[in-house]
Structure 1
Amino acid sequence: MPFATVNDHSLHYTDIAPSSTTQSSPHTLIFIHGLGSTQNYYFPIFPYLTSYRCIIFDNYGAGRSEYKPGTETSIASIGKDVLGLLDHLNVDKAIVVGYSMGGMVPTHLASKTPSRVVAAVLIGPVHPSPQVSEVFKQRVPKVQSEGMESMANVIPNAATGPSATALQKAFIREQLLAQSPAGYIANCRAIEHAKPPGYKDVKVPTLIIAGEVDKSAPAEGCRFIYGELGTVEGTKRLVVLKGVGHWHCVEVPDQVGKLVKDFVDEL
């Protein structure tokens, strides 16, 4: 399995080259997943993205990227890992795709290091607020006392839309059980202490995908982010997926995959 050591973090990643049977695009996409998921969250949409180079990794402390207690985990540190992995793979700039907690990273990077970001895709992005902070703060003692089963037994049903299948919920459950409690807690604290990115400083083309019944990153928050972006009108887009909860790429991969493909094709 490929691992890269960046910023003293050992990150498990996958680097998918464009398919030889398609006309390849010059664009490279890098994907950041959310709390409780892994790089596998994105794999259901990859049949739509065969024209591009796609780099996916397990966030530090998630999946196969082992967490070392006492080390920093924050939106800023995840952003540094993204840039470090791009450097490791000799990629100058990329389209940055983020989901949930990871949905804060594209706007963070676009506001801080715009020369590295071609465009941003935000899938169910979390907008930091005192209310959001409290939700994730409350998860910490539960995981400390009951382990990841406390999340795996609840989230697959509570965080999906009404049309989510039993197989999709089982896939979500498996991703949650793949987390170490210490790594999960560290990422909960990253959300708890997160501050809103500099939305007004984001000037790159941006696509936001929201779920109509998403309780973790409600559509209202996505609309707020859309309105705050400094991106020129006509180069930003917000799409709300009817009946979809918080696990967009798992619940409706065909819809999400096509939206991302169409967005990137227009760049």
Structure 2
Amino acid sequence: MPFISVNNHRLHYTDSHPDGAPENGLTLVFTHGLGSSQNYYFPILPYLTSKHRCITSDTYGSGRSTYTDQPVSIASIAADVVGILDALNIPQAVVIGHSMGGLVVTLLGSEYAGRVKGVVAIGPTHPSETLASVMQKRSETATEGGMEPLANTIPNQATGSEATPLARSFIRELVLGQNPKGYAALCRAIANAPTVDYAAIKAPFLLIAGEEDKSASFEGCQRIFDNVSSANKELEVLKRVGHWHCIEAPEQVGRAIEEFVAGI
């Protein structure tokens, strides 16, 4: 089981091409959302790994990256992504993030421009009072009752009308497998997320939104997209898809990223 040590903690990760990206390929680094793990991205990796180096990791406090009571924030998660690049001697990468990970990759595009070849934000959350309130309540739920109450509701409430029972069961397993303390800490990180300077993002930019996403509203996604300064930016809206895009519609997401990356 591969782990990498960055910023005083150990992150579980996978690397499709440890010896470097294929010829003419790029390195893609993936950051998942709250209540998830790197496994969220595995349904889309078959569309990408034949041509590109794909690195996935469990964010500190999620999945197999053990929570050890260290402080965690959107900025610290972004620093961990840069730490992974440093540890693997990767000068630049396309950064791909879902939900909370969307906050991370927009921050990376804004503040670490020299390390970012392109940005893909999938259902990115935009900081707001409403988001902070929802995250605070989820933090309290996880702290008081563990993950089961959330695992019993999120798979149905946060998916679109065409999500399959298999997709919902996968989401349930991701949520149920979280450390409640780590989950609560990440909820607080989102609640306290900084407002990203989207205008500072000049790298090629792709935003993938779900038409039926109630967690990352289309209004928030549109605001992010409109304020990004990149001359090469695209907005893809997936019909009848909720917030768990890579699980609900892996072919659509995989193809969209494949085509976007080909144009960088």
Distance in structure 2 (CA, Å) of the matches to 1:211 and 1:187: 23
> What's the CA shift for 1:24?
4.4
SS in 2 for 1:119: strand
1:253 maps to what in 2? 250
2:58 maps to what in 1? 58
Residue identity in the other structure for 1:251: E
SS in 2 for 1:44: coil
Distance in structure 2 (CA, Å) of the matches to 1:96 and 1:198: 17
Aligned-pair Cα RMSD in Å: 1.3
Distance in structure 2 (CA, Å) of the matches to 1:12 and 1:137: 27
2:263 maps to what in 1? 266
Alignment of structure 1 residues 162-201 onto 2, 5 Å: 162-201=161-200
Distance in structure 2 (CA, Å) of the matches to 1:132 and 1:178: 23
> What's the CA shift for 1:74?
0.6
TM-score by length of 1: 0.96
The reply on whether 1:68 has 2:68 as its aligned counterpart is yes
Distance in structure 2 (CA, Å) of the matches to 1:246 and 1:228: 22
> What's the CA shift for 1:26?
2.9
Distance in structure 2 (CA, Å) of the matches to 1:107 and 1:147: 30
> What's the CA shift for 1:105?
1.3
2:212 maps to what in 1? 213
1:32 maps to what in 2? 31
> What's the CA shift for 1:169?
0.6
TM-score by length of 2: 0.97
> What's the CA shift for 1:231?
1.3
Distance in structure 1 (CA, Å) of the matches to 2:23 and 2:211: 33
2:240 maps to what in 1? 243
Residue identity in the other structure for 1:243: R
Distance in structure 2 (CA, Å) of the matches to 1:187 and 1:31: 17
2:16 maps to what in 1? 16
Residue identity in the other structure for 2:251: D
2:230 maps to what in 1? 231
Distance in structure 2 (CA, Å) of the matches to 1:164 and 1:26: 32
Structure 2, unaligned stretches of length 5 or more?
none
> What's the CA shift for 1:154?
0.3
> What's the CA shift for 1:178?
1.2
1:4 maps to what in 2? 4
> What's the CA shift for 1:25?
3.4
1:48 maps to what in 2? 47
Alignment of structure 1 residues 20-169 onto 2, 5 Å: 24-50=23-49, 51-69=51-69, 71-169=70-168
> What's the CA shift for 1:113?
1.3
Moved over 6 A (4+): none
> What's the CA shift for 1:106?
1.4
> What's the CA shift for 1:114?
0.6
